[in-house]
Structure 1
Amino acid sequence: MYMMLARNLLEGHAYADTGYVQSALAYLAPASYPPGFPIALVPALAMFGLNITVIKLYMIGLYGVAVVMCAWLAATRLPADRTTSCWVIVGVAALVAWNPRFAGWATLILSESVFVIVTYGALIACDHAYLRLDSHRSCNALFTLAGGLILASLATRVFGLALILAVWGYELVRYRRPTRFGVMLFVIAGLAGAVLLGPRLLGTSTGETSYLTLVFQDLFAHLNELPVTVSENLGHYGRLLRHYWLIVPGSATNQLVAAQWIAWLSLPVVAIGLWNRWRSSPSVIEIFALVYLASLLPWHSYGSRYLIPLMALYVVYLTAGLLRIERVLSAPRHAVLWLACCLAIFGYGLTYRATADFDHRIAPAAPNGPNATAMYRYIKQTTPKDTRILVRDPRTLALFTRRGALTYTDNANDQSLPGFTRVVSYAREMGVDYVLATPSDPGFALLRWVNLYPNAFSFIYAEGPFRLYRLRKAN
């Protein structure tokens, strides 16, 4: 979806005119997203086109910048011995960032890296501004920069609102009232956001329901379920924190005993760092983490990637814990860090190997693989532009073919909402012309439907595991 939006920005097309068709029966995603991340993708698309390999390398580069911002933000919370702490923070940031679970997100075309870059940049600017309250010129410049970065954060994800609330919360904790700088920050981000982002978030040119409308419709439609949703999400995110954030988590397909032991060993280290940090007054980053985490709880959807913006806080606590253990044990300089590195590298190597084997097995189903490329080329050459195709992943198909595409599953539970016996009537109701069966179908659902209703479909073309069928008109 992000690449389609970026291409529309690059080519001057209507922003939300992507070809993805929303379905009330099988909802997958809104018609558009905020423009911050698509804008960041425009340079890569302009230079290299729809080259998935290059785009993934570009995403790894953005993730690397996000890791640097993470270490920089964590360094603002350094203990007194800055030389020792700086090296420890760099090491811990690298350990956390290249955790296989984190690094797995680095190559995916998602907004987390850009959101982390601009959000951490805003927090760093705010932190330096509060240290220079007596110097109005430099302080005003830093708060203006922070306001622009908050705008960029809002343009990337709606959760950028947590930045404004975090600044106000920090001022209430630190100064017992909002300062003029907090008010100025709110005005800069609010006015610029209303002018620049309002048309993108509140409406689309295609008549589809917009992103911001869907966000708040979902929230207000389920207000009566809010206590249950919050309690369930607390459990979900608690499990995700346990499995994703420890130095070397085990994976669902490769529960390594060594990795699990290393994970449990890191728990007391983080707890020690948490205790040492919260004995002093909380910083902007900690207030932001609390507000951001609280903002995740009311929503029905959840996922481990939403925890990535909390990476800097985890680095702070892990670093503080390692430094505290070194001081208590009177260990040689960086000895604890080197031990953590050795344990982590051992676990990382085993997990990366399992991941590489899995990626090799699913390579034939990749959207930029030879089978998929040949199928997309055939669809572009043989179907009219107003064609609608039913497929498991409609956004990938719409990106490479510019044809209308819709799904048959709901993103929240990955189950077939139309019902196993209603797929034909559902497809005809939505104006579907073709059905594309792909290896990403859970249980090859579309192929099973085609076999159940052979009179409703006619085979058109096959390329490896990809099969295209025409939906026959009703008699």
Structure 2
Amino acid sequence: MPATNSTLKFILYAGIFLLLLFPCFVNLNSSHNWGSDFAQYIHQSKNILLGLSQADTYLYNQEFAVNGPRAYPMGFPLLLAPLYAIFGNHILAFSLFISSCLFAFNLLIFFFFKKRYGVWVALIIALLLAYDPWMISFKQNILSDIPFALFCWLSLLLLSMKRVPCIWATISLAFTILIRSVGVACYGALLLQLLYRYKKQKRLLAAMMIMITVSALLVYSVNNLLFDIPKDGTYWDQLNSKNFPDYIFQNIVYYYEQIKFHWFKGESGVWRAFPNLLRILTLPVILLALALKVKFKKLELSDFFCFSFLPLLIIWPPQQGWRFLIAIAPIIYEYYLLSVIFLLKLLLPRRLQVATSCLLLFAVAVSYGQAFTFHFRGKNIFAIDDTIAGPNSKEAQEVFAYIQKHTKEDATIVFTKPRALSLYTGRKRAMVQNLTDDVAVQEQLFLKHQVCYFLTNPEIVFNQHLQNFLDAKRDDVVLEFQNKSFKFYRYKKDFCNKRTI
């Protein structure tokens, strides 16, 4: 009998492993879109290997701070550096890495919640994450969100385990913050848990403060001593880019809507009713789950992480949709399941609870299926996509080759996606225009930085601001190159003669 139980357990966990692994092999890409955050991360990883400054990537424009900082924290570039050393700027290699991080994240979530709720509830939470059509679509982006979520939950798991040496939790905590600064929410989680269970945990106060201090010193040492992240052009510019009171309420509404509308609305038929019902019940379900946790004294570190994370998200001006909620998505799904389980036990006899649960899971599966059709209609998700409109497209590679051949390395080039331009051409004085149609303001910026070239693509967001300037100054620019997607102009200024081949 023990052998049989062991065999069944092995089969169960092997099946779970394969279920969570499967989504990693779909929607892989060897090309990338124009969201040029990925280019900045890759460029920083390249600079790590070359021993160059982390600021040596592109020309930062403080007036367009939302475009991104001069340099990101070092965590994600450090993760990408070994891949760049082996494969170079190979999007498929990075895509596989992000998929691997997503698999590890889902597996970690399963083991985290298995300890608390058992195999089946933990498996449902993990599968909701693993087969989320939005997540499968999003993982094609070479961004830090998924690795950040992975290290967040690794830190929470290690901090929750009594027999794990503090050094591992400290290192994981530091690396979480190195990937994204909002990882300091883990500090808030630790402190909130200490206050909540002060009588039981006050003896741990000294150890906790040492852990926080050491991890903070590690973060500072890596970002400021080992790699010397530039002190200007930081996230503070983005915080100062909007009036603080104006966007706080907007962000509260925005992220509540993101949670509420993440349940995809079916395109037709009776199954529209299920996601619509979930949307209506979003707030009551979350409040009920919190009330249950408070009543039965089940609040734990993951809950406190959510409480610390959300205020930081709300005060952050840029709105980036569900991607900013990935780290707390498991908690959101946990709250849904807690409330559903409680209501089923409260309202239905035992013989109907299992049947109703199966019906609800089937409804979720149908909703996911409709969302999957919406995200991937007409796309072969098992084929490696090399046709995404972005810097790897044929037209982009043509204009990049022209720029490399016909401009000097110190030439200043304006393009709406300067970080991608810099990575693919080696022109580190690539910069973005201002977000204004005031020709005089734009010209002042361009003269200040001795801009010599302009690259336009009407398919890219914010391009129109640059195009309006060029239309107004048509006598001062000359078209040097164009193809189906791009136009490359030269500014007819005396200082540009020195930067023209």
**Normalised by the shorter chain, which TM-score bucket?**
0.7 to 0.9
**1:436 positional shift:** 0.7
What amino acid maps onto 1:278 in structure 2? V
Instruction: From the superposition, tell whether residues 309 and 25 of structure 1 become closer, same or farther in structure 2 (CA, over 3 Å).
Output: same
| Correspondence for 1:393 | 417
Contact 1:277–1:317 (CA under 8 A) maintained in structure 2: no
| 1:22 matched to 2:47 | no
**1:299 positional shift:** 2.7
**1:120 positional shift:** 0.7
| Correspondence for 1:159 | 182
SS at 1:381 equivalent: helix
Separation (CA, whole Å) in 2 of partners of 1:364 and 1:222: 31
Instruction: From the superposition, tell whether residues 52 and 88 of structure 1 become closer, same or farther in structure 2 (CA, over 3 Å).
Output: same
What amino acid maps onto 1:419 in structure 2? D
**1:365 positional shift:** 2.8
**Which deviates further from its counterpart, 155-164 or 442-451?**
442-451
Separation (CA, whole Å) in 2 of partners of 1:275 and 1:331: 27
**1:210-253 CA deviation, whole Å, 9 max, x = no partner?**
53xx43x665x699x55544333222222222123x3x357xxx
SS at 2:391 equivalent: coil
| Correspondence for 1:276 | 292
| 1:434 matched to 2:446 | no
SS at 1:366 equivalent: coil
Separation (CA, whole Å) in 2 of partners of 1:472 and 1:341: 64
TM-score w.r.t. length of structure 1: 0.82
**1:307-332 CA deviation, whole Å, 9 max, x = no partner?**
11111211211222343355443356
**1:325-381 CA deviation, whole Å, 9 max, x = no partner?**
554433568544543443334333333333335989995632211211222222222
Separation (CA, whole Å) in 1 of partners of 2:116 and 2:366: 29
**1:10-41 CA deviation, whole Å, 9 max, x = no partner?**
222222211x2111333221111111111111
**1:400-459 CA deviation, whole Å, 9 max, x = no partner?**
1121211125xxxxxx23625643443222221211112214464434433332212111
Separation (CA, whole Å) in 2 of partners of 1:331 and 1:325: 14
What amino acid maps onto 1:145 in structure 2? W
**1:202 positional shift:** 8.6
Contact 1:390–1:436 (CA under 8 A) maintained in structure 2: yes
| 1:55 matched to 2:94 | yes
**Which deviates further from its counterpart, 42-51 or 387-396?**
42-51
| 1:460 matched to 2:480 | yes
Separation (CA, whole Å) in 2 of partners of 1:259 and 1:424: 55
**Which deviates further from its counterpart, 40-49 or 147-156?**
40-49
**Which deviates further from its counterpart, 193-202 or 147-156?**
193-202
Separation (CA, whole Å) in 2 of partners of 1:16 and 1:299: 23
Out of 111, 127, 131, the position equivalent to 1:72 is: 111
**Which deviates further from its counterpart, 145-154 or 276-285?**
276-285
What amino acid maps onto 1:285 in structure 2? S
Separation (CA, whole Å) in 1 of partners of 2:494 and 2:462: 27
**1:100-130 CA deviation, whole Å, 9 max, x = no partner?**
333333221221111111111111122222x
- Structure 2 gap ranges (5+): 1-39, 496-501
| Correspondence for 2:309 | 292
| Correspondence for 1:93 | 126
Contact 2:414–2:431 (CA under 8 A) maintained in structure 1: yes
Out of 333, 357, 367, the position equivalent to 1:315 is: 333
Instruction: From the superposition, tell whether residues 379 and 227 of structure 1 become closer, same or farther in structure 2 (CA, over 3 Å).
Output: closer
Instruction: From the superposition, tell whether residues 203 and 47 of structure 1 become closer, same or farther in structure 2 (CA, over 3 Å).
Output: closer
| Correspondence for 2:152 | 119
What amino acid maps onto 2:450 in structure 1? G
What amino acid maps onto 2:134 in structure 1? R
Contact 1:143–1:185 (CA under 8 A) maintained in structure 2: no
| 1:346 matched to 2:379 | no
Contact 1:389–1:432 (CA under 8 A) maintained in structure 2: yes
Separation (CA, whole Å) in 2 of partners of 1:68 and 1:464: 44
**Which deviates further from its counterpart, 261-270 or 309-318?**
261-270
Instruction: From the superposition, tell whether residues 174 and 63 of structure 1 become closer, same or farther in structure 2 (CA, over 3 Å).
Output: same
SS at 2:197 equivalent: helix
**1:165 positional shift:** 1.9
| Correspondence for 1:241 | 259
SS at 1:73 equivalent: helix
1:35-434 to 2 correspondences below 5 Å: 35-78=74-117, 82=118, 86-129=119-162, 138=163, 141-176=164-199, 179-198=202-221, 200-201=223-224, 209=232, 211=234, 214-215=235-236, 226-244=244-262, 246=263, 248-249=264-265, 261-267=273-279, 268=281, 270-271=285-286, 272-281=288-297, 282-304=299-321, 305-327=323-345, 328-329=347-348, 330-331=350-351, 335-356=355-376, 363=387, 365-403=389-427, 404-409=429-434, 416-417=435-436, 419-420=438-439, 422-434=441-453
Separation (CA, whole Å) in 2 of partners of 1:259 and 1:420: 52
Percent identical across equivalent pairs?
Answer: 20
**1:386 positional shift:** 0.8
Separation (CA, whole Å) in 2 of partners of 1:88 and 1:337: 11
Instruction: From the superposition, tell whether residues 222 and 471 of structure 1 become closer, same or farther in structure 2 (CA, over 3 Å).
Output: closer
- Structure 1 gap ranges (5+): 130-137, 410-415
What amino acid maps onto 1:62 in structure 2? C
SS at 2:455 equivalent: strand
Separation (CA, whole Å) in 2 of partners of 1:32 and 1:256: 46
Contact 2:437–2:465 (CA under 8 A) maintained in structure 1: no
Instruction: From the superposition, tell whether residues 206 and 55 of structure 1 become closer, same or farther in structure 2 (CA, over 3 Å).
Output: closer
Task: Count matched residues.
Answer: 441
Instruction: From the superposition, tell whether residues 210 and 226 of structure 1 become closer, same or farther in structure 2 (CA, over 3 Å).
Output: closer
What amino acid maps onto 1:234 in structure 2? I
What amino acid maps onto 2:45 in structure 1? A
